């Protein structure tokens, strides 16, 4: 047993087996890239729109093949019989309603898909999208629909620096609207954003504790080549006097920060991620993070040594 409520534990309890996600790139863009808000994207976002390992498709007819391709890619793992279709790359509610309906429906219809998880931005959930999600929920009562929101931080100063492009109030409204529809919300937080202290990261965690949030992804900040963050990072290495830290140079420091965040996290929030995957050919720093197995082993070993567990510092 892991000392936190992992997605694996949730899936085994709920579905009797571990569920793997098949990541999809359904051909979306993002208001932070197409010029609606900005053309440069968030400063950390790769050209793949944070979906560098996703199976690409360009029409709803290709969903089945993309899911089968994704399933084949997981064949080396000890998978069960069912999977989650994960609409991952870019902003997966940012398109015509007819297209959204077609791709979500095509995925939900597949026998080996137990549910879909949709990664998006809180400012891309207009009423029409919410109505569609509610209708699909009724149409496929045996399957689930999760929505993943890329919050990254509650701090407006950092949000502005990373060019997130929406205020915290927008996130609150989205969480509230999804909660009313009984659609579970998974929130992405990034640990190690430029200028954020451990107290800042813990403040984000504590803030989420007070909201109807079902799941969380705690993501180490990866500095990828060909991003504005990479330029910032390289400059900050040359200007040591700036004093702004960016991500975690040492694995041990990340593990300590992660354990603190898990310790303050509400015990019922399902933890979907505690580190993250970065394309090796793009990863500039921290390079220690490319050994994901080692990061997870160190986390679990250290938590055991410290007798640490999710919610150990949580106060209702």
Site residues (CB under 6 A) for ligand SF4? 30, 32-33, 41-42, 45, 49-50, 90-91, 121, 150
**Is the distance from CB of 161 to CB of 43 less than 8 angstroms?**
yes
Give least dist CB 89 to ligand SF4, A.
7
Cβ proximity to ligand SF4, 83 vs 166, nearer residue: 166
Residues 160 and 187: beta-carbon distance below 8 Å:
no
Closer residue to ligand SF4, CB minimum distance, 90 or 233: 90
Question: In which region does residue 45 sit, left (phi positive, over 0), alpha (psi from -120 to 50) or beta (all else)?
Answer: beta
CA dihedral 175, 22, 134, 184 (to 10 degrees): -30
Please answer whether residues 12 and 74 qualify as being in contact, where contact means their C-beta atoms are separated by less than 8 angstroms. no
3-class secondary-structure state, position 185: strand
- Dihedral of alpha carbons 117, 170, 263, 42, sign: positive
Q: Which residue number, 150 or 263, has a Cβ lying nearer to ligand SF4?
A: 150
Instruction: Determine whether 245 is exposed, middle or buried from the number of CB atoms within 10 Å of its CB (0-12, 13-18, 19+).
Output: middle
Write down the least CB distance from residue 88 to ligand SF4, Å. Answer: 10
Q: Which two tokens stand for residue 305?
A: 């040594």
The smaller minimum CB distance to ligand SF4, of residues 39 and 316, is found at 39
Which of 6/247 has CB closer to ligand SF4? 247
* Separation of alpha carbons 51 and 45, rounded Å: 9
The least CB distance from residue 162 to ligand SF4, in Å, is 8
Residue 33 or 217: the one with the smaller Cβ distance to ligand SF4 is 33
Distance from C-alpha of 84 to C-alpha of 82, rounded to nearest angstrom: 7
Tokens of 19: 């569920």
Minimum Å gap between C-beta 275 and ligand SF4 is 17
Three-class SS state of 82? coil
Which residue, 82 or 222, has its beta carbon nearer to ligand SF4? 222
Minimal distance, residue 164 CB to ligand SF4, in Å: 7
Closest to ligand SF4 by CB, 227 or 289: 227
**Least distance from ligand SF4 to the Cβ atom of residue 70, Å:** 19
Closest contact distance (angstroms) between CB of 119 and ligand SF4 is 8
- Asked if 152 and 162 touch (Cβ cutoff 8 Å), the reply is yes
Cis omega (within 30 of 0) on the bond before 286?
Answer: yes
Q: How far apart are CA 217 and CA 19, in angstroms?
A: 16
* Residue closer to ligand SF4 (CB basis): 3 or 215: 215
Rounded least distance, CB 42 to ligand SF4, Å: 3
- The CA-based angle 46-170-134, given to 5 degrees, is 90
State the minimum distance, in angstroms, from the CB of residue 301 to ligand SF4: 32
Contact predicate 236/297, CB 8 Å: no
């Amino acid at each position: 047993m892991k000392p936190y409520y992992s997605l694996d534990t949730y899936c085994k309890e709920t579905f009797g087996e571990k569920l793997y996600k098949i990541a999809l790139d359904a051909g979306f863009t993002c208001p932070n890239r197409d010029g609606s808000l900005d053309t440069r994207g968030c400063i950390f976002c790769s050209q793949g729109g944070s979906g560098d390992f996703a199976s690409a498709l360009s029409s709803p007819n290709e969903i089945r093949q993309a899911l089968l391709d994704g399933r084949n890619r997981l064949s080396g793992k000890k998978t069960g019989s069912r999977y989650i279709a994960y609409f991952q790359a870019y902003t997966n509610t940012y398109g015509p309603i007819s297209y959204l309906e077609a791709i979500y429906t095509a995925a939900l219809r597949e026998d080996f898909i137990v549910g879909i998880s949709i990664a998006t931005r809180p400012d891309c959930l207009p009423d029409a999208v919410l109505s569609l999600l509610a209708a699909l929920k009724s149409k496929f009562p045996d399957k689930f629909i999760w929505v993943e929101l890329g919050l990254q931080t509650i701090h407006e100063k950092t949000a502005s620096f990373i060019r997130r492009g929406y205020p915290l109030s927008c996130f609150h409204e989205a969480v509230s609207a999804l909660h009313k529809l009984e659609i579970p919300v998974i929130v992405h937080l990034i640990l190690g954003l430029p200028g954020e202290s451990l107290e800042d990261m813990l403040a984000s965690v504590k803030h989420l504790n007070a909201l109807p949030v079902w799941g969380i992804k705690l993501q180490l900040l990866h500095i990828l080549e060909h991003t504005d963050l990479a330029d910032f990072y390289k400059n900050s290495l040359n200007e040591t006097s700036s004093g702004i830290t960016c991500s975690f140079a040492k694995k041990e420091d990340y593990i300590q920060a992660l354990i603190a965040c898990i310790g303050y996290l509400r015990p019922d929030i399902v933890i979907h991620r505690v580190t993250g995957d970065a394309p090796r050919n793009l990863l500039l720093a921290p390079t220690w993070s490319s050994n994901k197995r080692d990061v997870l082993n160190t986390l679990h070993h250290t938590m055991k040594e410290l007798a640490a567990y999710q919610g150990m510092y949580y106060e209702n």
